Structure 1
Amino acid sequence: MTDTSLLDLDAVLTIARRRSFRAAALELGRSATALSSAIAKLEASLGVRLFNRTTRSVSLSDAGRAFVEQAGPALEVIHHAMEAARAQRATPAGTLRINTFATAARAILSPLVLTFVRLNPEVHVDIVTEGKLVDIVAQGFDLGVRPADHVPADMIAVPLGRPERHVIVGSTAYLTAHPAPRTPADLLVHRCVRGRLPNGALLRWELRRGRKVVHADVQGPLTLDEASVARMAVLEGVGLGYFMEADVRADIEAGRLLRVLENWTPELPGLCLYYPSRRNASAALRAFVALARELAAERPHGRAAPPASA
Structure 2
Amino acid sequence: MKRPSWNELLAVKTVADQRSFRRAADVLGLKRSTLSHTIKALETTLGVRLFHRTTRSVALTETGERLIKRMLPLLAQMDDVLNDVTDSDHQPYGTLRISASDAAISLLLERILPTFTQQYPGIEIDLVAQGQLVDIVEQGFDAGIRLSEDVPKDMVAISLSGPLRFVTVASPDYLASRPPVTHPQDLMQHLCLRHRLPGGKRYHWEYQQGERQLALDVPGSLTLDSGALMAEAAAAGLGVAYVPERYAQHGLNTQRLVTMLDDWTIASQGIALYFSQNRHMPFALRLFVDTIKATLRV
TMscore range, shorter length: 0.7 to 0.9
Is contact 2:193-2:230 (8 Å) kept?
yes
| Secondary structure of the structure 2 residue equivalent to 1:126 | strand
Q: Structure 1 99/45 Cα, relative in aligned 2: closer, same or farther at 3 Å?
A: closer
Q: 1:308 matched to which residue of 2?
A: none
* Residue segments in structure 2 that go unaligned for 5+ positions in a row: 85-90
Equivalent residues in 2 for 1:147-226, closer than 5 Å = 147-226=147-226
Is contact 1:92-1:282 (8 Å) kept?
no
TM superposition shift of 1:99:
2.0
Is contact 2:17-2:137 (8 Å) kept?
no
TM superposition shift of 1:5:
3.5
- The separation in 2 between residues aligned to 1:116 and 1:228, in whole angstroms, is 25
**Is 1:35 aligned to 2:28, yes or no?**
no
| Secondary structure of the structure 2 residue equivalent to 1:83 | helix
Q: 1:143 matched to which residue of 2?
A: 143
Is contact 2:25-2:32 (8 Å) kept?
no
Q: Return the match for 1:5 from 8, 25, 37.
A: 8
RMSD of aligned residue pairs (Cα, Å): 3.2
Q: 1:260 matched to which residue of 2?
A: 260
Is contact 1:84-1:281 (8 Å) kept?
no
Please report the TM-score for the alignment, with normalisation by the length of structure 2: 0.81
Q: Structure 1 135/247 Cα, relative in aligned 2: closer, same or farther at 3 Å?
A: same
Which has the higher mean CA deviation after the structures are superposed, 192-201 or 104-113?
Answer: 104-113
Report Cα offsets for 1:18-63 as digits up to 9, x if no partner.
6xx76x36863658xx32664488679989995443xxxx246xxx
- The separation in 2 between residues aligned to 1:110 and 1:180, in whole angstroms, is 35
Is contact 2:149-2:268 (8 Å) kept?
no
TM superposition shift of 1:216:
0.7
Q: 1:70 matched to which residue of 2?
A: 63
**Is 1:284 aligned to 2:281, yes or no?**
no
Please report the TM-score for the alignment, with normalisation by the length of structure 1: 0.78
Q: 2:88 matched to which residue of 1?
A: none
**Is 1:85 aligned to 2:78, yes or no?**
yes
TM superposition shift of 1:249:
0.4
Report Cα offsets for 1:250-307 as digits up to 9, x if no partner.
111110011111111233212222233378534432222122112222xxxxxx3xxx
Report Cα offsets for 1:74-108 as digits up to 9, x if no partner.
23432331112212333632112222211111112
Is contact 1:11-1:35 (8 Å) kept?
no
Equivalent residues in 2 for 1:292-307, closer than 5 Å = 292-297=292-297, 304=298
| Secondary structure of the structure 1 residue equivalent to 2:286 | helix
- The separation in 2 between residues aligned to 1:232 and 1:92, in whole angstroms, is 39
TM superposition shift of 1:118:
0.6
Aligned residue type for 1:126: D
Is contact 2:167-2:243 (8 Å) kept?
yes
Is contact 2:190-2:240 (8 Å) kept?
yes
Q: 1:300 matched to which residue of 2?
A: none
**Is 1:106 aligned to 2:99, yes or no?**
no
| Secondary structure of the structure 2 residue equivalent to 1:166 | strand
Which has the higher mean CA deviation after the structures are superposed, 124-133 or 201-210?
Answer: 124-133
- The separation in 1 between residues aligned to 2:229 and 2:62, in whole angstroms, is 43
Q: Structure 1 161/134 Cα, relative in aligned 2: closer, same or farther at 3 Å?
A: same
- The separation in 2 between residues aligned to 1:267 and 1:212, in whole angstroms, is 15
- The separation in 1 between residues aligned to 2:26 and 2:66, in whole angstroms, is 20
Aligned residue type for 1:28: V
Report Cα offsets for 1:220-248 as digits up to 9, x if no partner.
11111123332332222111111111111
* Residue segments in structure 1 that go unaligned for 5+ positions in a row: 298-303, 305-310
| Secondary structure of the structure 1 residue equivalent to 2:203 | coil
Q: Structure 1 13/280 Cα, relative in aligned 2: closer, same or farther at 3 Å?
A: closer
How many residue pairs get matched? Answer: 283
